[in-house]
Chains A and B, each alone.
Chain A
Amino acid sequence: MEQKINSNSIKELFAQSGDVLVRPIKLNQTGITFSIFCVDGLINSDLVDQAILQALYSDPYLIKCTTQRQFMDYLLGAGAYHVFTKEEAEYSKLIKYVLSGMVAFLFDEEEKAIVYDIRMFEKRSISEPSEEAVIKGSKDSFVEVMRINTALIRRRVRSEHLVVESLSVGKLSKTDLSLIYISDIANMDTVNKIRDLITDIDIDNLSTPAFIEEFLVENKKSLFPQIMFSQRPDRIAANLTDGRIALAVDGFPFVYLLPCQLPMLMQSPEDYANHFYVGSALRMLRYIAMVITLFLPAFYIAATTYQNQMLPVQLALSTQAAKQNVPFSSSSEVLGLLLAFEILIEAGLRLPKTIGTAMSILGGIVVGQAAVSANILSPLVVVIVSLAGIAGFIVPNQDLSSGIRVVRFILAVVAATGGFFGLAIGLIILLTHLCSLDNYGVAYLSPFVDIDESNHKDTLFRFPISYFTKRPQKIVPKNRIKQTNEEGKEV
């Protein structure tokens, strides 16, 4: 049996919490007593004071209220105006509301409360996305407040079918989540599945992204991201209209997208802001960069350690000349430098920006140059690893980029063990793994592996927008038509 609402019991519950206020108030006109229950710092106390309490003290009508019930009815009716006003009788819900920043008036005799949503806490203003900046495109990005994020999405999708479902995760944190989808486009089976997965999450606190991501991905062991995030409301809106499902989490300055496929992670909003030839060229560049970052170090190891015939004569000769006095094997050089590169990245991330830049120069240029001059490293290895590193940064999605960095290491080790033969085996395993990934019924490599050719128009190449007539079949089984052709017919 659930506990009844009572100011004394609540006071006792939060007796050791200095920020939780339970303050009794007596109205002089009527002698009615009630308690204010709120968390200091989460509410707009000015609004409580001026718009509600002050107004009540000077309200002549209150004299007619002789019981708490009458007073409650008065408040709910016209006594205190507010958009979100709710009578609450459930103890657990009341606690949840107040801890999320609402203010409650407790009425002990009625064992009920009236809740006002006058949340106000310090928040970051909407700024330019740091990870997905574009030259030609909108400059707003999500912030840590979920409600602002859902508003940013709704500003872009004004459809009455846009659903923003409220959910909560975390036994202690009680973090708010919003499951966002367009009801007449999204696959409801997927929506239900995601909702079930979220409601089944049984953790104390949703403090970092991994706490939700790992519960939503199907293959947890894979290095490749199966859930996409974006800081850009326009990107989320575009994917919602494509039938995907978004998930906004309070406290995260980004929104998740599901189901997620590899080609999605290689796309950038810039692709659609430019001419389709330019967009396609940029996209091709990214795929080439992905191949370079994955395979170049491994290729170098295999070619210089096992199958030197893969190198053109002049390159073989200059590689040989460059390596003459270096004491380490090619594989040690490459793996060591890759490791040093990762250390530099990590150190650069943790340090303040100003020191980080100086450290990058020191580490990258000074130490690199000194290592080459001291014959510790061959210049070609520095070029190879730098090229692979820089190419890795072209990959637009950070999660994918991180995954690729790990796979790059594995392939380099495999190449050091078995040359091109090992590399070929590594590639086969990698492709097999990617083909085996499935994301809410959609293949991870979709639409590359799709038979339906209408899905292929936004993969390696970005076709003109007029070609995007259908939504991806695997994601949206019904209501696939996005636009009609010039004659007004469905394509």
Chain B
Amino acid sequence: MMLKKLIFLILPILLCGCTHDMNREEIDEIDLVLVLGIDYDQNEFSVSALYSTGSGGASGAGVGTGKEELVKGEGKTAYEALENLKLNNKKNITLAQAGSFLIGEAAAKKGIDQSLDFLKRDETIKMEALVYIIKEKKAEDFIKEGIKNKQTIHEDLKAIEQKQLKLLTRNDNTFVNILNDMEQNYSSVLIPYLLAEKAGFRMEGYAVFDQLKLVDYLDRETSDGVNFIRNIMRSYPIYLKDEVSLAVSYTNTKLKASVNNDTILVTIKVDFETMMKEILTKENVFSGEELLQLTEAQNEYIVNILNKPVQYSLNKGLDILNLARLVENQNVSDWSTIEGDWNNRIGGIQFKYQVRSQITKSFILGNK
């Protein structure tokens, strides 16, 4: 009985104590930041927050989810910029609903660790928020351009995410994934970059980071090769020269790393299935011989795609395929000797491709 009384006495105290640091804010009394842009210019960081004003809110915007507004803060660090942003804004802001973090090119070159550090210490941040690099632009300008073009930026970014998921099995550019990748000392961090176009935004490929600083952008095909090797490709079109187009419907990539006499050999084994999507030739492509030729042609096509990130990695000496972890995991005893010299060894890694594929029939309307 005494214990019960004690519990009932302690509980409110505990409740009040624990809620002391909790922000009790009505949802209509705060601005929900949907997109956060981080830039670096003239030795200062700037943080731009895009939020929706809501119906009949402070700005007196229209009905529905309201119009999007941008607020900016500047400071010596990204955190200081955010705090200044909070001071500048009429209402309190929350980053809890932010679904996208856009990092301007200059900020990315300065280092993503400096841009993202203040976010990883915020318990309200969504771990699955997506991180993008803005190519050749400041994130603020990118957002402003979107507003000028009357785009609903957070919805357009959501559309990009959905489109990505149509092609890939998962989005690897989530905030938590990027933070994990940043912990890998020997591999490059890859973050998708965005281009602003009049019709909307476009995701072209990956931005490559070395020592957490932006160094390069991969073109589309090289980025596709990365996706194949990462085994996240869901669907991919193949255009063969002999007027046949196919679409990859299933793919499975396995990587194997072996160390032999200081030589690292990485075997990339890809199994995939395709479906005929377009046949413009009058030849019967479904004959056994033709199918065999098509299969070989599509294998060659995919090998070419795979070869692009591999060659990039070898030429630039950057581990964009996250091979360090693979070699470490599969060759634990050898890793200790390789570890210290990994950056120099990347250029000497040997690659072997084992590509197997199958063409499946697709649905045909009509007689043919």
Stretch in A128-136, A137-145, A344-352, A418-426 with 4+ CB within 8 Å of B: A418-426
B32-A317 in contact (CB<8A): yes
Whole-angstrom distance between the Cβ of A343 and the nearest chain B Cβ: 25
A418-B15 in contact (CB<8A): yes
Asked if B365 CB lies within 8 Å of chain A CBs, one says no
B126-A305 in contact (CB<8A): no
Find the B residue at minimum CB distance from A419: B22
B57-A419 in contact (CB<8A): no
B55-A313 in contact (CB<8A): no
Q: How far is the CA of A303 from the CA of B56 in the complex (A)?
A: 21
Q: How far is the CA of A418 from the CA of B14 in the complex (A)?
A: 10
Whole-angstrom distance between the Cβ of B201 and the nearest chain A Cβ: 17
Contact of A308 among B11, B52, B57, B94 (CB under 8 A): B94
Stretch in A320-328, A391-399, A447-455 with 4+ CB within 8 Å of B: A320-328
Interface bits B41-69 vs A (CB < 8 Å: 1, else 0): 00000000000101111000001111000
A316-B97 in contact (CB<8A): yes
A323-B26 in contact (CB<8A): yes
Find the A residue at minimum CB distance from B11: A425
Asked if B104 CB lies within 8 Å of chain A CBs, one says no
A317-B19 in contact (CB<8A): no
> Which A residues are in CB contact (< 8 Å) with B18?
418, 421
Given contacts A308-B94, A417-B15, A418-B15, contact A313 B34 (CB under 8 A): yes
A394-443, CB < 8 A from B = 414, 417-419, 421-422, 425, 429
Interface size of B by CB at 8 A reads 32
Given contacts A313-B154, A417-B15, A419-B22, contact A319 B97 (CB under 8 A): no
Contact of A324 among B25, B55, B99, B124 (CB under 8 A): B55
Contact of A317 among B11, B24, B65 (CB under 8 A): B65
> Which A residues are in CB contact (< 8 Å) with B94?
308-309
Given contacts A308-B97, A309-B124, A309-B126, contact A326 B19 (CB under 8 A): no
Asked if A280 CB lies within 8 Å of chain B CBs, one says no
Given contacts A308-B32, A418-B19, contact A324 B26 (CB under 8 A): no
Given contacts A317-B52, A318-B65, A422-B15, contact A323 B28 (CB under 8 A): yes
Whole-angstrom distance between the Cβ of A374 and the nearest chain B Cβ: 14
Whole-angstrom distance between the Cβ of B360 and the nearest chain A Cβ: 36
B24-A306 in contact (CB<8A): yes
Asked if B364 CB lies within 8 Å of chain A CBs, one says no
Find the B residue at minimum CB distance from A303: B27
Q: How far is the CA of A33 from the CA of B55 in the complex (A)?
A: 94
Instruction: Please list 13 pairs of residues, one from A and one from B, whose beta carbons are closer than 8 Å in the complex, sorted by A's number.
Output: A305-B25, A309-B97, A313-B154, A317-B66, A320-B32, A321-B55, A322-B55, A323-B26, A323-B27, A323-B28, A330-B27, A418-B15, A419-B19
A contact set with B: CB distance below 8 Å = 303-309, 311, 313-314, 316-326, 329-330, 414, 417-419, 421-422, 425, 429
| Top 7 A-B residue pairs of the complex, sorted by shortest distance between their CB atoms | A309-B96, A321-B55, A323-B28, A321-B54, A304-B27, A317-B65, A320-B54
